[in-house]
């Protein structure tokens, strides 16, 4: 188990930014101001850092995260912007608008950050500190609002500390977030849809579209677990999943956890262990990529060993249950 970090607070100086970059490079968690609310940042390409982030927030499920980038060009490296998404990006970035678009096939954001979805949420923040941090780090930063799960979004460094002291490495204190409301989220996958009202008024977007924006709310409350089917292209392996497996059946692959206690595991077509040492953060970091690897084998099924409901175990089991649920084709 990882030791709790002691949280440092720094006002924004070039030294503080350098410190934040070093921390992100090392897989740490840095809260920073954006114009909407404070975000809890992690290296978007580092699955382990992202697992720590979910752990720090105490999220009950792996809600997908927004990838923050410097500009539309960087956004295009991660997601596919259709002409309408490009137009919105051109008009409203940098600013309080998040676009949900299809993931690029070679998108380098960890699958854990997008919760295994085929889509990705992208935002170019306007706040100077956020922009300076992105420029200095040179990679996408995933950042949910920097609050504990179920709490309201923080708009000052003090709010962040009240929720996350001792759970994250660093808070860059840049004063109050001027917008004070999360970004507006618009899905640009076919017909555009408003997923979350926020800092950019709907009317501003509708003026560009020339018609009203369809509603497709993703969240009654910020941290409400996403119901299967609420999101486009919910990730599911093609190979059937068998959860809480006590034994491996002929033709199955095995997704193990901790000490391999499953009988006939030598029979498995292939074995991947989420965390031999039963570390939940490590297991979460490996979850989506291991599922994908085992799914590609063409095995008759994937037997999944029981995973305790401890820490991130709850979120891991939530995703596994969704992946195992029968779905319409």
CB of 310 to ligand TXA, least distance (A): 23
DSSP state of 265: G
Alpha-carbon distance of 257 to 235, in angstroms, equals 21
**Residue number, 21 or 187, with CB nearest to Mg ion:** 187
- C-alpha R_g of the chain: 20
Residue 182 touching ligand TXA (CB under 6 A):
yes
Cβ 240 vs Cβ 301: under 8 Å: yes
Q: Which is nearer to ligand TXA, 246 or 321 (CB)?
A: 321
Under rule CB under 6 A, residue 174 binds ligand TXA: no
Specify whether the CB–CB gap between 218 and 196 falls below 8 A.
yes
The torsion angle over the Cα atoms of residues 34, 40, 45 and 49, rounded to 10 degrees, is 160
**Binding site partner of 314, from ligand TXA, Mg ion, none, Cβ cut-off 5-8 A by kind:** none
Work out the widest C-alpha separation in the chain, in whole angstroms.
62
Q: For 21, left (φ over 0), alpha (ψ -120 to 50), or beta?
A: alpha
Site string for ligand TXA, 184-223 (x = CB under 6 A): -x---------x----------------------xx--x-
By beta-carbon proximity to ligand TXA, the closer residue of 65 and 88 is 65
Stretch that binds ligand TXA, among 35-43, 72-80, 292-300, 315-323 (CB under 6 A): 35-43
| C-beta of residue 202 within 8 angstroms of C-beta of residue 216 | no
Minimum CB separation of residue 228 from ligand TXA in Å reads 13
Residue with Cβ nearer Mg ion (200 or 320) = 200
Q: Please say which residue, 64 or 301, places its beta carbon nearer to ligand TXA.
A: 64
List the helix and strand counts (H, then E) for the chain: 9, 15
Q: Does 154 bind ligand TXA (CB under 6 A)?
A: no
**Rounded least distance, CB 286 to Mg ion, Å:** 25
In this chain, which of 28, 39, 58, 174 binds ligand TXA, going by CB under 6 A? 39
Show the DSSP H helices in the chain as ranges: 14-25, 47-57, 72-76, 83-92, 128-137, 157-164, 202-209, 280-295, 313-324
- Decide if residue 113 touches ligand TXA (CB under 6 A): no
Q: Which residues contact 40 (CB under 8 A, 6 or more apart)?
A: 29, 30, 31, 53, 56, 57, 143, 144, 145, 146, 160, 164, 168
Options 17, 117, 124, 161; binder of ligand TXA; rule CB under 6 A: 117
Hey, is 8 helix, strand or coil?
strand
The least CB distance from residue 298 to ligand TXA, in Å, is 28
- Residue 229 token pair: 């089917």
Q: Does 144 bind ligand TXA (CB under 6 A)?
A: yes
* Shortest distance, position 146 Cβ to Mg ion, whole Å: 9
CB 129 within 8 A of CB 16: no
For 174-193, b/e burial (b = at least 16 CB within 10 A) is beebebebbbbbbbbbeebb
Q: Give the whole-angstrom CA distance, residue 179 versus residue 167.
A: 26
- Applying CB under 6 A, does 55 fall inside the site for ligand TXA? no
* Residues in touch with Mg ion (CB under 5 A): 145, 222
**Min CB(143)–Mg ion separation in Å:** 10
Annotate each residue in 280-309 with x if it binds ligand TXA (CB under 6 A) or - if it does not, as one string: ------------------------------
Interface with ligand TXA by CB under 6 A: which residues? 34, 36-37, 39, 63-66, 98, 100, 114, 117, 119-121, 123, 143-145, 182-183, 185, 195, 218-219, 222, 231
């Amino acid at each position: 188990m990882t030791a709790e970090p002691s949280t440092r607070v720094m006002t924004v100086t070039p030294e503080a930014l350098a410190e934040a970059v070093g921390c992100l490079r090392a897989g740490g968690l840095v809260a920073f101001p954006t114009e909407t609310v404070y975000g809890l940042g992690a290296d978007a390409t580092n699955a382990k850092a992202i697992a720590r982030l979910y752990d720090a927030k105490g999220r009950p499920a792996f809600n997908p995260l927004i990838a923050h980038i410097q500009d539309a060009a960087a956004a295009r490296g991660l997601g596919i912007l259709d002409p309408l998404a490009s137009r919105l990006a051109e008009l409203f970035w940098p600013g309080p608008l998040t676009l949900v678009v299809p993931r690029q096939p070679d998108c380098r954001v960890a699958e854990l950050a997008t919760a295994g979805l085929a889509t990705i949420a992208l935002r170019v923040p306007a706040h100077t500190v956020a922009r300076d941090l992105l420029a200095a780090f040179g990679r996408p930063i995933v950042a949910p609002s920097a609050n504990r799960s179920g709490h309201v979004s923080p708009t000052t460094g003090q709010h962040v500390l009240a929720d996350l002291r001792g759970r994250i490495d660093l808070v860059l204190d840049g004063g109050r977030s001027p917008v004070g409301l999360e970004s507006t989220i618009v899905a640009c996958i076919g017909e555009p849809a408003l997923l979350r009202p926020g800092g950019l008024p709907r009317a501003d977007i509708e003026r560009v579209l020339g018609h009203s924006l369809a509603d497709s709310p993703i969240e009654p409350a910020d941290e409400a677990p996403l119901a299967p089917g609420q999101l486009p292209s919910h990730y599911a392996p093609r190979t059937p999943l068998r959860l809480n497996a006590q034994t491996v059946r002929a033709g199955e692959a095995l997704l193990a956890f901790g000490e391999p206690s499953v009988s006939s595991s030598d029979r498995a077509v292939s074995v991947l262990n989420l965390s031999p040492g039963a570390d939940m953060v490590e297991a979460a970091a490996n979850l989506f990529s291991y599922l994908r690897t085992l799914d590609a084998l063409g095995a008759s099924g994937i037997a999944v060993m029981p995973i305790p409901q401890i820490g991130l175990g709850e979120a891991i089991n939530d995703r596994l249950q969704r992946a195992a649920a029968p779905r319409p084709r």
